[in-house]
Chains A and B, each alone.
Chain A
């Protein structure tokens, strides 16, 4: 081979700057990392089907969950073809009641999580970033967390009329502070980073520093907190229903069903079992999916 076969390429400073382009997108990488895990994908599908089914059940089926049977032969029936999960002491169809109840519980949990996390993230970001707020916020935290939650919930349920929004207010008014505290600890570790100092030097206002420099780094924590709040709220509703302070008895909810199933448990265990199984599946899958998604949304775990 002779040297003629080669010519010198002209020096091009622009080409020297060219680097590999990874075409990185945060949410796409998050999603790809998430679906790599078989377990989380399976649970996500189960969870999605359950949530979707319970939300759509009133449209799909025409069974009235509150329809009582006057005929005593239809009371406390064991599961059969007509009533997949059997009937309760008033002849109401447990299958229908389970889905209506799940629907109520999920809507309740989503609402509580929305307020908890929404308020918690904003308050936590301010708490962590604005030094002056630390003392007062810490005091508020101490006050709220030192009141036993059960006492507080019972008290609020007595003061206000039992109902959907009562539970939302009761849960959210104290739930946000633990999330805020969590967020605050993370924000403090981000606060003095050089890129935040750089933003301050550029005169970036507080709301944009929080929105662009702080909160994007908290996505995985926010997701995890949401994922934990949802099963916790479902559980709390069941607990409140169980002690008789939850939603009114004419509202179908998992809490009310568990409460009614408990009284008949020795004779008709299926009345408690089926709602509880659905409850457990939803709770556990929310918990695991949330954790896995939080892991996946941490860029350190991206491929």
Chain B
């Protein structure tokens, strides 16, 4: 633990709540979520669709306003109104990769503009020559050819388009990348390619990732720590291997049991656990965020914590 505490915290999310208004009703997509991400790690947020994982990522990027709570990047709040220079610094060092490569590129702009959009916004180049050189270098980094710059997005395959999206984020020389399900819209055959690219870039560019996914088997492969989010609340957070070895929360167990097994025999006999929220008895005492084991947090009341620990 002592060593862990010394690691630099890059991003801290404190009691984040994001509300959406549905007519008069209020709906909390993210409800009192707290976590932090250390510099240099890959932190994954896993949950089913509608659980609020994308909303968390968009709140970090400032697309959705936080209704309550705070988001700190390098100790500075980025959830409220930022000054011009703060915003500039934040936008440069925090970038996002999107889910759907078909929807996330401007169809009427050439790759050259798409990739250098961030450069234009913050005047990160001295002359046209330097900008072109930067675009070329970044395209090469993600494994694309420099002369793709003069083409339109529709001329590329899904994997190539996703790499254009990565190049667009990468050209800003960010420290922190939010990857919102970057591979779930891709063909299975090129998912590994994008994952390998992300891992390679992490080493080369010294990046930190917030990786959002619904597929636990992919997440296990690349993350250092995993948080499981269910209906806007994080129910469990642990180191990747710890979570797989010793899942505590019944929802996590359910998610783990849903991972398809490559062996048809064992897949057939697999015991699929289905999470039933009614097993909790939270009417009197609401659950709290407790550390069950060092670095392994879970949302539970005391009785459950006791019970889960004993098993």
A217 within 8 A of B: yes
- Using known A-B contacts A21-B155, A198-B168, determine if residue A204 contacts B104 with beta carbons closer than 8 Å: no
Q: Does A18 contact B (CB under 8 A)?
A: yes
Asked if A202 and B172 make an inter-chain contact with CB atoms under 8 angstroms apart, the answer reads yes
- Distance (whole angstroms) from the CB of B210 to the closest CB of chain A: 13
Are A17's CB and B98's CB within 8 A? Answer: no
Give the interface segment out of A37-45, A150-158, A189-197.
Answer: A189-197
Give the docked Cα–Cα distance between A18 and B143 (Å). 11
A-contact 0/1 string along B92-119, CB 8 Å cutoff: 0001101110011111110001000110
Interface stretch (choices A78-86, A93-101, A133-141, A208-216): A208-216
Q: Check B63–A200 contact: CB distance below 8 A.
A: yes
B117 touches A22 (CB 8 A): no
Contact in complex: B117, A195 (CB < 8 Å): no
Which B residues are in CB contact (< 8 Å) with A202? 91, 95, 117-118, 121, 168, 172
A195 and B91: CB pair below 8 A? no
User: Are the CB atoms of B103 and A193 closer together than 8 Å?
Assistant: yes
Q: Which residues of A contact B108 (CB under 8 A)?
A: 26, 212, 216-217
B156 within 8 Å of A (CB atoms): yes
Q: How far is the CB of B237 from chain A (nearest CB, A)?
A: 25
A19: which of B91, B106, B120, B156 is its contact (CB, 8 Å)?
A: B156
A195 to B161, CA, bound (A): 12
**Complex contacts, A217 vs chain B, CB 8 Å:** 107-108
Inside 8 A of A194's CB, which chain B residues have their CB?
98-100, 103-104
Interface code A196-228, partner B: CB below 8 Å = 1, 0 otherwise? 011111111100100011001100000000000
Q: Which of B37-91 contact A (CB under 8 A)?
A: 58, 61-63, 87-88, 91
Q: Which of B133-186 contact A (CB under 8 A)?
A: 143-145, 148, 151-152, 154-157, 160, 165, 168, 172
Question: Which of A22, A198, A213 is B98 in contact with, Cβ under 8 Å?
Answer: A198
Q: Which residues of A contact B155 (CB under 8 A)?
A: 19-22, 24
Whole-angstrom distance between the Cβ of B33 and the nearest chain A Cβ: 20
Asked whether B122 is an interface residue with its Cβ less than 8 Å from the other chain, the reply is yes
Tell me whether A14 is interfacial, beta carbon within 8 Å.
yes
Complex: how many Å from CA A195 to CA B151? 17
A201 touches B103 (CB 8 A): no
Min CB distance B207 to A, Å, is: 16
**Is A203 within 8 A of B118, CB to CB?**
yes
CB distance B143 to A17 under 8 Å? yes
Please determine whether A17 and B106 come into contact, CB atoms closer than 8 angstroms: no
Contacting residues, chain B, for A208 (C-beta < 8 A): 120-121
- Expressed in whole angstroms, the Cα–Cα distance for A208 and B107 within the complex equals 15
Q: Is the CB of A17 within 8 A of B121?
A: no
Q: Are the C-beta atoms of A195 and B143 separated by less than 8 Å?
A: no
Provide the bound-state CA to CA distance between A22 and B110, in Å: 13
Interface mask (A117-140 → B, CB under 8 Å = 1, otherwise 0): 000000000000000000000000
Q: What's the Cα separation between A203 and B119 when bound, in Å?
A: 10
A20 to chain B, nearest CB (A): 8
Chain A hits for B99, CB < 8 A: 194
**Smallest beta-carbon distance A193→chain B, Å:** 6
**B148 nearest in chain A by CB position:** A17
Contacts of A205 on B, CB cut-off 8 Å? Answer: 121
A88 to B58, CA, bound (A): 72
CB distance from A37 to the nearest CB of B (A): 23
CA distance A17 to B145 in the complex (A): 7
Q: Mark B189-211, 1 if CB is under 8 A from A, else 0.
A: 00000000000000000000000
> Considering the complex, which residues of chain A in the window 249-296 have a beta carbon less than 8 Å from any beta carbon of chain B?
none
Is A21 touching B63 in the complex (CB atoms < 8 A)? Answer: no
Beyond A193-B103, A203-B87, A203-B122, whether A17 also contacts B109 by CB under 8 A is: no
What is the interface of chain A, defined by CB distance below 8 A to chain B? Answer: 13-14, 17-22, 24, 26, 193-195, 197-205, 208, 212-213, 216-217, 299
Return 5 A-B CB contacts under 8 Å, by A number: A22-B155, A24-B151, A200-B62, A203-B87, A212-B113
Given contacts A202-B172, A208-B120, A212-B109, 17 further A-B contacts (CB under 8 A): A19-B157, A20-B155, A194-B104, A197-B104, A198-B104, A198-B168, A200-B61, A200-B63, A201-B62, A201-B63, A202-B91, A202-B95, A202-B117, A202-B118, A202-B121, A208-B121, A212-B108
Instruction: Across the A-B interface, give the 5 residue pairs with the lowest CB-CB distance, nearest first.
Output: A203-B91, A216-B108, A194-B103, A194-B104, A202-B118
